[in-house]
């Protein structure tokens, strides 16, 4: 086998694996957005100069508001939910493929989390404690079998379509049950 052919085959496998990892990452964001009540507009694994994929949700939150004084406890809780959603991409990626995590990856997610946390919790000790708590919440959310099944189903759909828009987007519930040896078809999950 020619060296160039081997290198191209290896590069093709690496690109395929990166696309799968990106699908799981974005599916993690989408699952968390859905579970935490953020309205998802679209999810894509079509990369650009800034990111390998993207999940776009209507947050109903504005960072600028945090500059005008301390927010209510309800607002802080909502921002904590958004941080869980941001962390969920990396947690889903880590759960799918631990070896795929690199220090340069998820830089945008990390920067967003730090920016929000610094505004909500300016004291460093408090910020670190809240961050640990939110990482545990994220891990618990992604680790629930039903949620992981939904992430897997969504990642598969993303690999087929590359982009899912709201009108075509329905989170899929993975039952994990089989009837007569055949896996039951996934049912759409309704947005609440």
DSSP states of 173-191 as a string? E----EETTEEPPPEEPPP
Instruction: Name the one residue in this structure whose structure tokens are 């993975």.
Output: 174
Q: Using CA atoms, how far apart are residues 82 and 114, in angstroms rounded to an integer? A: 12
Per-residue confidence (pLDDT) for residue 9, from 0 to 100? 45
Per-residue confidence (pLDDT) for residue 184, from 0 to 100? 37
Helical pair 145-161 and 73-96, crossing angle rounded to 10 deg: 70
pTM for this predicted structure: 0.78
The 3-state DSSP class for residue 53 equals: coil
CATH number at residue 82: 1.20.58.760
Indicate whether 192 belongs to any domain. no
Per-residue confidence (pLDDT) for residue 170, from 0 to 100? 54
Per-residue confidence (pLDDT) for residue 187, from 0 to 100? 38
Indicate whether 83 belongs to any domain. yes
Indicate whether 188 belongs to any domain. no
Alpha helices by DSSP H, the chain:
3-35, 73-96, 107-120, 124-143, 145-161
Strand partners, 172: 188
Indicate whether 25 belongs to any domain. yes
What is the domain range of residue 80? 3-170
Spatial CA neighbour of 28 closest among 133, 185, 150:
150
Residue 41 structure tokens: 């507009």
Per-residue confidence (pLDDT) for residue 177, from 0 to 100? 41
Indicate whether 180 belongs to any domain. no
Per-residue confidence (pLDDT) for residue 70, from 0 to 100? 74
* CA angle at 56 for the pair 51 and 62, rounded to the nearest 5°: 105
The structural domain count of the chain equals 1
Q: Using CA atoms, how far apart are residues 116 and 160, in angstroms rounded to an integer? A: 34
pLDDT tens digits in sequence order for the chain, 192 residues long: 443 433 344 476 777 888 899 999 999 999 999 999 998 888 998 878 778 888 888 777 766 666 666 788 888 999 999 999 999 999 999 999 988 877 666 788 889 899 999 988 989 999 999 999 999 999 999 999 999 999 999 999 999 999 988 654 555 444 444 333 233 333 333 333
Per-residue confidence (pLDDT) for residue 3, from 0 to 100? 39
Residue 144 structure tokens: 């629930």
The distance in angstroms from the start CA to the end CA of the chain is 55
Per-residue confidence (pLDDT) for residue 51, from 0 to 100? 80
Report the 10 Å Cβ neighbour count for 76: 15
Indicate whether 28 belongs to any domain. yes
Indicate whether 142 belongs to any domain. yes
Indicate whether 182 belongs to any domain. no
Per-residue confidence (pLDDT) for residue 103, from 0 to 100? 62
């Amino acid at each position: 086998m020619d060296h160039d052919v081997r290198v191209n085959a290896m590069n093709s496998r690496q690109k395929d694996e990166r696309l799968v990892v990106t699908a799981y990452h974005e599916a993690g964001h989408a699952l968390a957005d859905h579970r935490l009540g953020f309205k998802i507009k679209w999810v894509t694994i079509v990369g650009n100069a800034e990111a390998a994929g993207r999940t776009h949700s209507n947050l109903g939150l504005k960072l600028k508001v945090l500059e005008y004084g301390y927010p209510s406890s309800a607002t802080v809780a909502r921002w904590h939910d958004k941080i869980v959603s941001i962390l969920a991409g990396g947690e889903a990626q880590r759960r799918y493929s631990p070896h795929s995590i690199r220090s340069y990856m998820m830089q945008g997610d990390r920067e967003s989390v730090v920016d929000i946390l610094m505004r909500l919790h300016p004291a460093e000790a408090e910020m670190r404690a809240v961050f640990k708590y939110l990482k545990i919440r994220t891990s618990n959310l992604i680790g629930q079998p039903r949620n992981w099944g939904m992430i897997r189903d969504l990642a598969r759909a993303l690999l087929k379509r590359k982009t899912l828009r709201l009108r075509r987007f329905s989170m899929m519930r993975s039952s994990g049950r089989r009837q007569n040896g055949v896996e039951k078809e996934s049912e759409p999950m309704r947005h609440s």
